Structure 1
Amino acid sequence: MGSGALGKLSEASAEEVSAVYKDLPPEAQANLKEALAALHKGNGLSIRSMISGSVAAVFEAASAETTYMDLVNALYAQVPETKSQVVKIFISAEPMDQYKTLGEQGVDAKGEVQYTVEEFSVGTKLTQEEAFAIFKGARDGLNSLSKAAVDETKSLKNPPQAVKTVVAAVAVLLQKPRGSWDDLRKMLTDQEFLPSLLSFEKDNVSTETLNELQWYLAHPDFQQERVKRVSAACVCLRDWVDCMHTFATTFQRLHMP
């Protein structure tokens, strides 16, 4: 795309670009993404597909503190179909450590990373007997919730990272804002928070939500023993997340064709 076309593109409103973009054929959409990446060059981190070779997203807020999930969320926003896919981000030819920042891995926040995707799966089909056994073993996560534990957790002004990770995982399931501890405390202080956990529709969790939740479940700070060491009260929320994940994935596996 020539400099004149880039200039016209830079003058267009977001609504105008969006209206034109959705009607373009795939090749033209790829060209437009490259043009937008060119406009933003030097102002953000480019996220390039290793399959198509095109820049799929630009993360303008990238910094040394940016994490894997920050990049994935940027990709989710700009390429919505990736919400139901497992995203693997590569730094040069090496997979990015999902729990380290760009700075910790020596990545230029104004440079580029690459990514590939594969379809997310909850596993293979289960029989009714197999599913019943899993459901029975997972019920403890429902029984351990308490108002006292929630009150203690929400009273923390600057909690350990493990607490933030657990409460953010709860927010993923409830589809609540989770950009900061203030967002999470707002969720915890809502009078309907505990009732929403007790009445949560565990048989109706979307594939996109289960996919996003995987990062939290595997996080070192989410593991039960680590959470217990920093906040005994928060363990019940951690176990609730684990329980809801087990129920939701088992339900999907039971009802596979």
Structure 2
Amino acid sequence: EELELQGRRGGVEAELAGVQPLIDQARKAVGQIKKENIDEIRSLKMPPDAIRDVLEGVLLVLGQEDTSWNNMKKFLGAKAVKDEIVNYDARKITQDMRNKVERLMASKGNSFEQQVIYRVSVAAAPLAAWVKANMAYSKVLEKVAPLEAELSGLVASLEESNALIAQYEAELRECDEAVSTLKQDFAKKTA
């Protein structure tokens, strides 16, 4: 059972390792977005649909329900906006959040294509890649969760078994010592 679990875990870890470079690349690209590019997006009265779709995806991944243009501009105006995105932990993405973003990406998928979004906005292209990478990563994390729970259960069971073995070995040593003492006493009395 443990070997089967280790095999499944190895497969999932390989998937995680395959997605991790996408996350790292997207984080690096987001970190390189120039403030002027963000300010340019903020200054728009009404953004192109592709920019709006990508920013909606970013806000949804970050757990923000308000995806109005005013909230998007407020978000982009925050001092640490890039740091918040770059340092975001995909483990915070809930099933509900992922469903919303996946629906958005399914209905507005063209907005998340690098060739399309890059032509519309240099700043939004890395954000689109970041949204896609985090969705892929959170899917793999979702697969890992039951394996982690199962593995921790097996580890706890193994530790419990090892503790019982140690207890029984100690009791066996005590019995062996008692038998040895009784044999010596018997030998003295029968000699």
Instruction: Give the TM-score of the pair, scaled to structure 1.
Output: 0.47
Q: Provide the C-alpha distance between the structure 1 equivalents of 2:70 and 2:61, rounded to a whole number of angstroms.
A: 18
Paired residue for 1:187, among 72, 75, 86? Answer: 75
Instruction: Sort the Cα spacing of 1:213 and 1:191 in 2 relative to 1 into closer, same or farther, 3 A.
Output: same
**2:59 equivalent to 1:174:** no
Whichever residue aligns with residue 80 of structure 2, its letter is E
Determine if contact 1:142/1:243 at 8 Å carries over to the other structure: no
Determine if contact 1:163/1:227 at 8 Å carries over to the other structure: yes
Q: Please give the secondary structure, in 1, of the residue aligned with 2:140.
A: helix
**2:40 equivalent to 1:155:** no
- Point out the structure with the larger helix share: 2
Aligned residues: 134
Please show how residues 1-257 of structure 1 align to structure 2 within 5 Å: 126-145=11-30, 146-148=33-35, 149-218=37-106, 219=108, 220-257=110-147
Q: Provide the C-alpha distance between the structure 1 equivalents of 2:112 and 2:133, rounded to a whole number of angstroms.
A: 13
Whichever residue aligns with residue 197 of structure 1, its letter is I
Q: Provide the C-alpha distance between the structure 1 equivalents of 2:12 and 2:131, rounded to a whole number of angstroms.
A: 24
Moved over 3 A (4+): none
**Aligned equivalent of 2:172:** none
* Percentage of matched positions with identical amino acids: 21
The Cα shift of 1:177 comes to 4.3
Q: Provide the C-alpha distance between the structure 2 equivalents of 1:245 and 1:230, rounded to a whole number of angstroms.
A: 22
The Cα shift of 1:240 comes to 1.3
Which structure is higher in RCO with an 8 Å CA cutoff and minimum separation 6? 2
Unaligned 5+ runs, structure 2: 1-7, 148-191
- Point out the structure with the larger strand share: 1
The Cα shift of 1:179 comes to 4.2
Q: Over aligned residue pairs, what C-alpha RMSD do you find?
A: 2.2
Instruction: Give the TM-score of the pair, scaled to structure 2.
Output: 0.62
Determine if contact 2:23/2:130 at 8 Å carries over to the other structure: no
Whichever residue aligns with residue 140 of structure 2, its letter is T
